[in-house]
Chains A and B, each alone.
Chain A
């Protein structure tokens, strides 16, 4: 129960934050827009969130279609300098027109970033992306060579990703390394941290596998409760040390670890401040949400009308008070967990708070 316990100070803080969250939901200002520009990928990772229900043979969305949405729907209704556009995939670097996309987005006043596995990020490509206005980049690096390559199922993936991060760390870009912690890495996290620091990497984000997509059937990737608590303790200690900026990803309410393992209190911003345009034109919350919570499609609906008038499931989470959440004493802070943790039937697939018992 230790990991779940909320002291008085934290409880008051969470209650205040909860009230502020209501303002945020009411305003629902668009702050991050994902563009799933491709589902093609140069790897086939064991834990991929773009699960097998998505069709990698789907064609990339033409850049002009995305720019039309920006020009007709987003730009007239927002301050572009306050909206971050994130190119995601698949693997974004397989798109040869990524630089053109970046330049066009930048020309309209938006900042943009991308998530990559680093496989195709040569120095030349990185430089051309920077020239196209790249502001922020995240690279997946899931542990030591044996662990990473096993998860990524490619013998070159570790060295390419590490080299990509080493290059990026020299550019002054906003960046981080993203590590999906699996059981094989839990007891070696200290050692892994030293390797990252030694390679000049100063920003690091950790998450753990949740049972969706390919990872659902791959139990060797899942942390048990004891391992999960170890990861939380490791993050807390590392943040106190201050040698590397480490945080746990946004997913899941973390009880007693709230505000200690990441910079902010828990909040699922999907559909509140975050929207995505999928490769087939579907409009949804963040790209982690793989279940069917699609709110519209850019080829049939007006994006801005969808953003303003739909997204009810994302903005009012009362419907998540079912099953184990119905009587949960922290629901007021958790609101039923991240939207990506709900399946098509609305059932919760994974509870971070329960892992801390």
Chain B
């Protein structure tokens, strides 16, 4: 069974991401037909233990205003106490949802 079939089968089984080595479409410029697309085997992108995330074309910009996150929310250090409160609110919400489902 060739590589592409295996990728297809893994996708059918719901493991397209887990297999993470698929085929990449690349144009073959040497070919007379410039529009011809060739499938090329890709290697798995394994997130290494002491590695970093694979950049996916993110555009980084310098930090000018430390007061805001990209979504516009105000950035302030969150303490352990804040986290506890958030957690408590989430617990309550979950309990309320569970109660409502009953």
Contacts and interface: CB of A to CB of B under 8 A. Distances in A.
A173 B68 CA distance: 16
What size tier do the contact residues of chain B reach? 35 or more
A264 B18 contact: yes
A24 B52 contact: no
B18 A250 contact: no
B46 A264 contact: yes
B55 A88 contact: no
A24 B43 contact: yes
A115 B3 contact: no
Contacts of B10: 13, 16-17, 20
Interface in A262-292: 262-265, 267, 269, 273-274, 286-288
A263 B83 contact: no
A263 B47 CA distance: 9
B61 to A, nearest CB: 6
Nearest to A146: B80
A49 interface: yes
A130 B6 CA distance: 39
Nearest to B13: A13
9 contacts: A24-B43, A170-B66, A170-B75, A174-B56, A191-B83, A195-B78, A205-B47, A265-B18, A273-B43
Interface in A1-30: 9, 12-13, 16-17, 19-21, 23-24, 27, 29
Given A24-B44, A32-B48, A199-B77, A264 B54 contact: no
A338 B78 CA distance: 36
A332 B44 CA distance: 18
Interface of B: 1, 3, 6-7, 9-10, 13-15, 17-21, 41, 43-56, 58-63, 66, 68-70, 73, 75, 77-78, 80, 82-84, 86-87, 90
B80 A145 contact: yes
Contact of A267 (B1, B13, B46, B54): B46
Given A9-B14, A115-B50, A249-B49, A167 B44 contact: no
Secondary structure of the A contact surface, majority rule: mixed
Given A169-B69, A273-B46, 20 more contacts: A9-B14, A12-B13, A13-B14, A17-B19, A23-B3, A29-B43, A49-B50, A115-B51, A127-B63, A137-B52, A145-B80, A170-B63, A170-B66, A174-B53, A174-B55, A176-B52, A249-B48, A269-B46, A286-B48, A338-B49
B65 to A, nearest CB: 8
A175 B52 CA distance: 7
Interface in A161-187: 162-163, 166-167, 169-176
Nearest to A133: B60
Given A134-B60, A137-B52, A170-B66, A19 B6 contact: yes
A340 interface: yes
B19 A250 contact: no
Given A24-B43, A88-B50, A288-B50, A173 B58 contact: yes
Contacts of B68: 170
A250 B15 contact: no
Nearest to A128: B62
Interface in A132-153: 134-138, 144-145
| Residue among A20, A130, A190, A286 with most chain B CB within 10 A | A20
A99 interface: no
A131 interface: yes
B63 A263 contact: no
Contacts of B7: 20
A195 B76 CA distance: 12
A84 interface: yes
